[in-house]
Structure 1
Amino acid sequence: MLRKWQIECIDLVEKKFAEGRKEFLCVATPGAGKTVFSAVASQRLINKKKVEFVLCLTPSIAVMRGVQDKYEEILQKPLDGKFGSIGLCMTYQSFQYAYQNLAERLSGVKVLLVLDEIHHCAGINEIKASAWARPLLYLIEKVKPYVLSLSGTPFRSDMQPITTLKYDGSLVKPDYIYGLQEATRDDVCRSPVIYLIDNTKWRLTQRGEVISEHNCLSSLLEQEQIAYQRILEDRQFMTHMLSNAEERLKEGRRLRLDQGGLVVASSINHARQITQILYTLTNEQPTLVTSDDPDCHSKLIKFKNGTSKWLVSVGMVSEGTDIPRLQVCCYLSRIRTELHFRQVLGRILRVRNNETESVAELIIPAHFELLMFAKRLSEEIPESADLIKYCKFDITKPETNDLVNDSKKQISLELDTLYEKGNELQVNPVNPAEDFISARKHKMADTNVGVYGLYIEEVMRYCQ
């Protein structure tokens, strides 16, 4: 059964294309059901003889398989490009090596080009287009297809214009928008609850002497030459974050036994460390999916259809992956862009059948950039500021597991010559002061950062 927004948008697609338009942009919040919408829209256009072939492009193999399965279920025909199929589903990466041949074969055919998560493609002309965008522009020029672009986050971290999109100055001009405010109101998406974890006393020491103290993580990172990655990879800090997430999931599974959790890691090695900690905390082996594992896709499917607790990944579950039983997420990635933040949140927003008034719980370190993204997200949901409830309290309850640190126990991080610039780690930069304007200069030998205060949890609860 189609949702109200999907029906409205499909009708609008038919109307615009009937009027002679060739391009349509649908912006719908992650988890709202863009794949079903686009598949049914394709079916309508095929039935009305407006389209003879559907070419659907996705950002990854994992997303492609889910999209292809859904399209074939709705269209009742294969989408593998073989004899008897109604179209072809492939990744933008694969399309780079097939676009000229496809353009030649599809010449004169009524084609619908579906561009899933189009924000991955930058540039509106061939000269400035990215590697994924250039083949698109070529095919659009040669084949003249109908173009249906989809995105839940129609912006890029590099501020480049997105391929096929129309702009009014620097603002995107969608043909249809379905935001998170509407999605939570309609019970299409869960209401997000974001937990920011911090500590009341971060202390930087050198050879046993206190150099500085900070009352929050943001102050530490802004004023000291400390790579964020080092904090994320500290075992005791990870354990506290993961035990917090485990408590949320345990509570949720009292209501629904198959509720699942996702941990987003910074690297494959980081993901393996997280898996070990989760196993110690839960006595249950988490599902680890990484790009270097040939069985990663089958593991994703098994987790999706199973009842196990935790799924750990680096980037394979950050966008477009449909696992509705995921409802808790612990974000331990070093990537700090608004696009990635919202896409990860989207993984736990999807509702299941007969699910109403449920929440999606995201646990994050209290990094100032992540806090900024969370606040921007909050502005899109409520109609007034009083609808956001803030609750700040100390986490002081005793932990029984010996892996979980006491709230006053020190966390020591040995600092080396790593400095941070944006989302990249650099070794021995020529001038670290250029990376951190406000950074204080310290000799790095024998320097530690420790947590000596109470853990603080700030809750951002989004109410309809």
Structure 2
Amino acid sequence: MSTTLRLRRWQKHALDDIEASDRRDYLACVLPGGGKTTWALTVVLRHLRANPHRPVVVTVPTSSLKVQWARAAARFGLQLDPRWDGRARIKPDMHGIVLTYAQVASATEPLARIAHDAVAVMDEHHHVGSDRTWGDALEHAMATAGLRIALTGTPWRSDDNAIPFATYDAEGELQPDFVYSYADALADGGVVRPVMFPRIGGTMDWRASTGGEITATFTEALTKDLMAQRLRTALHADGGWVRSALTQAWSTLQKVRADDPDAAAILFCIDQQHARDIARVWRRITGDQPIVAVSDDPASQDKLEAFANGTGTCAVTVKQASEGYDAPRARVGVWLTNVTQPLFFAQAVGRIQRWRPELGPRQPAWMFLPDDIRLVALAHGLVEQRTHTLRKREEADEPAERAERDPEQVSLFAALGSQAEEPQDPDAAVEAAWSAAPSTPPRHADDPALEIAVPPPPRRFAEDPDGVAAFDILDDLRTRNSEAVRAIARMTGQPHKAVNQRLNQTAGITRIGNASVRQLQARLKAADQWLRSA
């Protein structure tokens, strides 16, 4: 039985567009937080109604996104396996698999067999243009897929590698089939937050890589190398610029939390040691202990998930909380990294712009920036879109300057000190920024044309798991089976290997990792009977 789903306006337009075409490849460029996952799953389910035999293959850049996609799909009744081992076929109680682009490269041939005539969804598709190995592997693995849907929120590339299955014009410009921008989302209302970009100036003192001492503000023209050194000096954790930036961010967050008690900040840092140093400064200013999520901490993803669902005030990270991370309660960001690439900038801003309907029409976000011309250029593009959309200006948007990460000479470089340009009245500055924040109520919310029927996927379970992800059920059954094996081994004195072999034979299992839900349930039932008779 079909269910009814209310789409956003862009989702309905893009759905109508892809269903009206006979294109085998479709590229949708949708800003972070715009709802591209829901749209893609809707397309897949409606496509499976006419093509129930087709498997579903979803590719993503990171392991955490595998789990997010599998759980999102399960809410629609679509079961995707994020534990695919690169060898086995799709489990009988699964509609498909979800895997990383790295897995595509390491298991290209097995995937090509599974993906034959499949519905393929390639999330954050721009990643395969950055790694030629990934791109070549994806082209081969998905060559015979029946339908290929590519999604990206940030389609910029800093290299010359073409993105597989994408269309380019004669000048080499990417030609998406559908585009939904920040300006479009603000015009619709109720999709993303308007982001404010307070720029903090200052005076920096440092010893250059050549050995001489330099003093400069952000307004002074410098060479590329000296610009990089000036920014690194401002971002030094023990400098005055960082203290001022964090103090202003904390004041803003306190104002936001008066109406939104769960609101939080995310601090984007240079490297792991820098993140720990910044966390120390934040704690000194606020009295609050932030979570620190860095790559060498195996618990970092768990920390970020707990932060997303908690009430703590701050997360400090390097690149762990960028693409694919969803924490809608984050409303304040501080740019404390020397990365000046458009791709990462857009991803970071995307972490604080996600809309929460329960907060009402006025829920701005803030990203505090060094007043560095390269970062200002990146923010300028978003600010122009925001201003043009919300204030109905008629002048054309000016193109944002493309910025690149600057190679830094570190032989003799040393940050000596920094002093931020402080607002004369910090409280008044916060109030002024809050007053200037626009209201963006959702439009078209009552349009009946946005309601569509979403059919259920082909049946895989004897009983509907009611939105629960099958891989979570499998994980639970594997855990319970392992506990039963240990209990039998203790009671009978038999080795674990012998117990496992007997139970596998009873349930018709060759490898526990490839077992279906029914097989694991039968295995657990046999183990319970063995325990009762022992």
TM-score computed with the length of structure 1 as normaliser: 0.78
Q: 1:288 to 1:43 in 2, by over 3 A?
A: same
1:291-350 residue CA offsets vs partner (Å, 9 max, x unmatched): 222222222221111111111111111112111111111111121111111111011111
Q: Which residue of structure 2 aligns with residue 342 of structure 1?
A: 346
1:329 maps onto 2:333 in alignment: yes
Offset, 1:381: 3.6
1:269 maps onto 2:273 in alignment: yes
Match of 2:183 among 159, 181, 184: 181
Q: Distance in 2 between matches of 1:135 and 1:316?
A: 26
Offset, 1:225: 7.4
Offset, 1:57: 1.1
Offset, 1:233: 2.4
Offset, 1:88: 0.8
Q: Which residue of structure 2 aligns with residue 15 of structure 1?
A: 20
Offset, 1:459: 7.7
Q: Distance in 1 between matches of 2:227 and 2:155?
A: 33
Offset, 1:223: 7.9
Q: 1:305 to 1:50 in 2, by over 3 A?
A: same
Alpha carbons 1:265, 1:333 under 8 Å: kept: yes
Q: Distance in 2 between matches of 1:356 and 1:188?
A: 10
Offset, 1:385: 11
1:186-211 residue CA offsets vs partner (Å, 9 max, x unmatched): 22100110111112x445689xxx96
Q: Which residue of structure 1 aligns with residue 374 of structure 2?
A: 369
1:245-276 residue CA offsets vs partner (Å, 9 max, x unmatched): 11111111000101111111111111111111
Rg larger for: 2
Q: Which residue of structure 1 aligns with residue 122 of structure 2?
A: 115
Offset, 1:154: 1.4
Alpha carbons 1:32, 1:189 under 8 Å: kept: yes
Q: Which structure has greater strand proportion?
A: 1
Q: Which structure has greater helix proportion?
A: 2
1:97 maps onto 2:106 in alignment: yes
SS in 2 for 1:133: helix
1:455 maps onto 2:457 in alignment: no
SS in 2 for 1:219: coil
Q: Distance in 1 between matches of 2:173 and 2:103?
A: 30
Instruction: Letter of the 2:321 partner, please give it.
Output: V
Which of 356-365 and 46-55 deviates more? 46-55
Offset, 1:215: 4.0
Which of 378-387 and 309-318 deviates more? 378-387
Offset, 1:235: 1.6
Alpha carbons 2:331, 2:353 under 8 Å: kept: yes
Instruction: Letter of the 2:382 partner, please give it.
Output: L
The alignment yields a C-alpha RMSD, in angstroms, of 3.0
Match of 2:408 among 425, 431, 434: 425
Question: What aligned pairs does 1:292-307 form with structure 2 within 5 A after superposition?
Answer: 292-307=296-311
Offset, 1:241: 1.6
Alpha carbons 2:104, 2:141 under 8 Å: kept: no
Q: 1:148 to 1:106 in 2, by over 3 A?
A: closer
Q: Which residue of structure 2 aligns with residue 380 of structure 1?
A: 385
1:4 maps onto 2:9 in alignment: yes
The alignment covers a number of residue pairs equal to 402
Offset, 1:14: 1.9
Question: What aligned pairs does 1:188-207 form with structure 2 within 5 A after superposition?
Answer: 188-199=191-202, 201-202=203-204
Alpha carbons 1:72, 1:79 under 8 Å: kept: no
Offset, 1:214: 3.3
1:232 maps onto 2:218 in alignment: no
Offset, 1:450: 4.1
Which of 160-169 and 304-313 deviates more? 160-169
Q: Distance in 2 between matches of 1:452 and 1:133?
A: 46
Instruction: Letter of the 1:365 partner, please give it.
Output: P
Q: Distance in 1 between matches of 2:277 and 2:332?
A: 19
Q: Distance in 2 between matches of 1:339 and 1:225?
A: 20
Question: What aligned pairs does 1:232-251 form with structure 2 within 5 A after superposition?
Answer: 232-236=235-239, 237-251=241-255
Instruction: Letter of the 2:124 partner, please give it.
Output: E
Q: 1:306 to 1:225 in 2, by over 3 A?
A: closer
Q: 1:334 to 1:459 in 2, by over 3 A?
A: farther
Instruction: Letter of the 2:235 partner, please give it.
Output: L
Any gaps of 5 or more consecutive residues in structure 1? 124-128, 389-420, 429-443
SS in 2 for 1:278: helix
1:29 maps onto 2:36 in alignment: no
SS in 1 for 2:119: strand
SS in 2 for 1:294: coil
Match of 1:256 among 252, 260, 263: 260
Alpha carbons 1:77, 1:85 under 8 Å: kept: yes
SS in 2 for 1:131: helix
Q: 1:204 to 1:266 in 2, by over 3 A?
A: closer
Q: 1:221 to 1:358 in 2, by over 3 A?
A: farther
Question: What aligned pairs does 1:37-52 form with structure 2 within 5 A after superposition?
Answer: 37-49=39-51, 52=54
Offset, 1:94: 2.0
Alpha carbons 1:121, 1:162 under 8 Å: kept: yes
Q: 1:293 to 1:218 in 2, by over 3 A?
A: farther
1:156 maps onto 2:165 in alignment: no
Identity %: 25
1:41-75 residue CA offsets vs partner (Å, 9 max, x unmatched): 11111122266211111111222222221112223
SS in 1 for 2:375: helix
Q: Distance in 2 between matches of 1:380 and 1:347?
A: 18
Q: Distance in 2 between matches of 1:224 and 1:459?
A: 32
1:92-136 residue CA offsets vs partner (Å, 9 max, x unmatched): 1122112211112443xx31111111111118xxxxx71211111
Q: Distance in 1 between matches of 2:215 and 2:158?
A: 32
SS in 2 for 1:88: strand
Offset, 1:219: 3.4
Q: Distance in 1 between matches of 2:257 and 2:148?
A: 42
Match of 1:283 among 284, 287, 298: 287
Question: What aligned pairs does 1:404-415 form with structure 2 within 5 A after superposition?
Answer: none
Q: 1:56 to 1:147 in 2, by over 3 A?
A: same
Any gaps of 5 or more consecutive residues in structure 2? 1-5, 83-89, 394-403, 424-428, 441-534
